[in-house]
Structure 1
Amino acid sequence: MNLERKDAVRLSMMRAELSTVRLDGAGGVDVVLPELRDLLDTDVVLLYSVAAHLEEWRITRWHQAGGDPRCGELLGEALGKKAASSIFYYDVLWPAAAQRNRVVDASRWIDRSSPGTWEASRMYREVLEPVRMHRHSQPRALICDGPSLLAWFGALHPSTESRRQMRLLSALVPAVRQRLTLERQLDDAPRTANALRAAIEHLGSAAFIIGAHGAIHETNAAGRTLLTEDRTEIAQALQNAVARRPNAREIELVPLVDRGVPTHFLAIVRGDPVAERIASCVKLCVTRWSLTARQAEVLALVARGLANATIAATLRVGERSIELHMTAIFDRAGLDSRAALVARVLTSD
């Protein structure tokens, strides 16, 4: 993908912002969208998510740069009336593979896949027409983690979008996906130091909060297990990751920034060995606690760090059903908190 130097520089700055977690909760998507709108020279840039809550659908996050601020309110009202399938032209839980993490012109795609339906659609009449954006083109990507939808991300442009706009959006999709995936793993916890320490217990991988030179300040249950197995090797791997040296392990570094505090990093150990260990630990606990098949599915997703709402969407059941399964799992495990459950699973042997 060939980008002009000035565009590449601005995109690099946006990627850096998206890769940074600020402990005061600021930054991230809300900083990037206005910059992206200016770079695209367009009317509106949006990122939003919807999810099922009990018997209705709700907007779970809404970020908007430019345009009429009523857009989110209008979509929320439309969602409250009928099923989400009556508004969107895609599966809001599991979009088709061809739609995931790639930028398409949604307007043209709708014309091809469902010709003659757009002007009669609820999205057109109830959401976009009242704010005079019903004729806009919609270059967008459905940001997904695996098959499940994280967010709608794109622009509303008053004319046919340019190739440059499509390239710029496409270039930012991986960074947006990485950011949203991490936020989901952390269960959208407030980015305070104490909350972050609690949140890393819910990650499905070994994770460490480390200093600028790799010193370990905090870790989760999976991380403590790794340290028990080989503290020297893990410590060296973390130091290599911070120094950007070749590494025996795949480690993702997320800068943690707070005013007046030296930069720290959230270091997440990636790779198949961790995933395999989680699967092995879950299988052992399923047998030990005599869990049902559905409870086993729920436990596997909990061990990966997913929240109840996300688990419900993944398994295509109501959130109340997941709460009941969690209660049963707690009873069988003899535990009373999610953090304790994840710790017990990841330290099973």
Structure 2
Amino acid sequence: MRHNLAPFPATRLRRTRRSASIRALCQENTLSVNDLIWPMFVVEGSGERQPVTSMPGVERRSVDLIVQAAREAADLGIPAICIFPYTDPALKTDCCREAWSADNLSNRAIAAVKDAVPEVAVMTDIALDPYNAQGHDGIVKDGVILNDETVDALVKMALAQANAGADILGPSDMMDGRIGAMRAALEAEGHKDVSILSYSAKYASSFYGPFRDAVGASGALKGDKKTYQMNPANSDEAMRLVERDLVEGADMVMVKPGLPYLDICRRVKVEFGVPTFAYQVSGEYAMIMAAADNGWIDGDAVMLESLMAFRRAGCDGVLTYFAPQVARALND
């Protein structure tokens, strides 16, 4: 885009920045509570809160307290939450069968929230790592992550979550063909209105460390996830993955991590024009919190600025652990 501006002093670009009222009139992007998805970690028990030490201010909550947090989300105007389980290590197996148990921790939390706070949309995570004895997002045999066998398991997991009442399924596994398989199964089982928000461009990132602590996957992981998550050096590949998932039936797409991949967010929005989301992941959150706790930055200001960056890049919404703080700031 070319701009033919009158020469100075006829053009003084500072005129539109002269006062708060004029700056507001000229602001190009906005951030609202409608742009937020609040990720939550669920743990067994009742009245149970477990601080996640690598994510200050974030807790694992038992199902009853997840319901309480969902009510808080509704009161703040946050439209959606996303549930991640902290699975008992005794339930983790190589076949990952707990992932599709109708009575697993995630599915009980989904059902409880939808019963108590139906107006809040519940998003889920579809990947095997919380249930896998080897910590991977897929089934492992002889050190190899098996694609097709994993897809079969993920389909069962998707149906179990849909049966529990999930509104949005979030496949974060990065297996080939899983979106098409899930969509076909959902249609066949009568879940035609359940949305799929696919983690289409999920990178093999070092920003995930605190999250793995939060779900108890750090110690279990053997090796790395580079054979299925994306190379951080690649951008064109992300576009192929997004296109593939849309063709297979994804309703929305996700870029993960967030701030280090704003160029990918922008490309997705420009090239496809579909609902585009980003995940402000645990490492991003932890860095902001650590710097704020040390007095090196204004934490609230950086929190809001970082989220505006997603909106400026074209994202329609963001999964962020800051969601309740942001909502309170915006509602004041």
TM-score (norm 1): 0.24
More helix by share: 1
Whose Rg is larger? 1
